[in-house]
Amino acid sequence: MNLIYAVILGAVQGVAELLPISSSGHLVIVGELLTSLSGRGLPEWLQGMTMNVALHFGTLLSIATIYFRDLLGLLKQVRLLLLIVLSSVPAGIVGLLFKDQLEALFQNVLAAGICLLGTAIILLTARRLRGVGRGLTELSPAAALTIGVFQAVAILPGISRAGSTVGAGLMCGLRPHDAAKYSFFLAVPAIGGASLLELLKLLREGDSAAPEVLPMLAGMVVSYVVGVFSLRSLIRLLAADRLHWFAWYCSAVGLLTIVWQLWAV
């Protein structure tokens, strides 16, 4: 049964981290659903730091697979690297200043449902206010900082990091494929940094429950494979101007979650 749980969580992570529908929000909601359906809580290690690091490492490998050449090319683009650093600053500040409050929200299913509606608003606004279609070489520091602020907001469970940064990129005038590329350039330090901090904490304090190796590896592999397909799908849908499809999905899931939680009170 733990293997099934791990595969489900890996699939959710692979889809929701790389599509603009919020992996954090979906993991909160799916975890609560699995608890309700099984009549018992998920094993502690499945919700622990070790599993979280494994799932995020899987999606990080997905990004590296799709954008491998582009990531290597970044080493020769000093200006773009500096803009990525600038965009990463707001999320770093918010994460450090509000760590405890944010961790509490990750146990709040109702908050995840409400924030999914926020993701829908961002996606619909991006489609309406998308700019003229510039390349990454034309990205200004002000635009990079704006995208970074949107990424900081996406720390909330239910606000999609991909949706926020791609949406902000479109509103700042980037072409769709460049908005996606920049979003996932930002994902490397964002996901990698968060995973590294959790790993360091894990090494320092240890996990309260020993993870099962096979389910953990299965979750990571599923997260990677599903992530590759999800990222390729997002790139195609952006090119076809279908970003708003995810807005309707987030609206539906958000509203259903809100009704479910209010009904359960």
Number of H helices, E strands in the chain: 12, 0
pLDDT attached to residue 241: 86
List the structure tokens of 146.
């704006």
Q: Where are the alpha helices (DSSP H) in 160-242?
A: 161-171, 176-205, 213-239
Residue with tokens 């990079």: 144
List the structure tokens of 180.
């996606």
Contact by Cβ (8 Å): 261, 109: yes
pLDDT attached to residue 210: 54
Residue 1, SS3? coil
pLDDT attached to residue 211: 61
Euclidean distance between CA atoms 114 and 120, whole angstroms: 10
Q: How many residues would you count in the chain?
A: 265
Q: What is the pLDDT of residues 164-200, one digit of tens each?
A: 999 999 999 999 999 999 999 999 988 887 777 766 7
pLDDT attached to residue 152: 94
Euclidean distance between CA atoms 169 and 182, whole angstroms: 8
Question: Which of the residues in the chain have pLDDT under 50?
Answer: none
Residue with tokens 């509606």: 117
pLDDT attached to residue 55: 86
Q: What is the pLDDT of residues 56-88, one digit of tens each?
A: 889 999 999 999 999 999 989 999 999 999 999
Euclidean distance between CA atoms 181 and 77, whole angstroms: 14
Q: What are the backbone dihedrals phi and psi of residue 243, each rounded to the nearest 5 degrees, phi first?
A: -60, -30
Euclidean distance between CA atoms 108 and 98, whole angstroms: 16
pLDDT attached to residue 227: 95
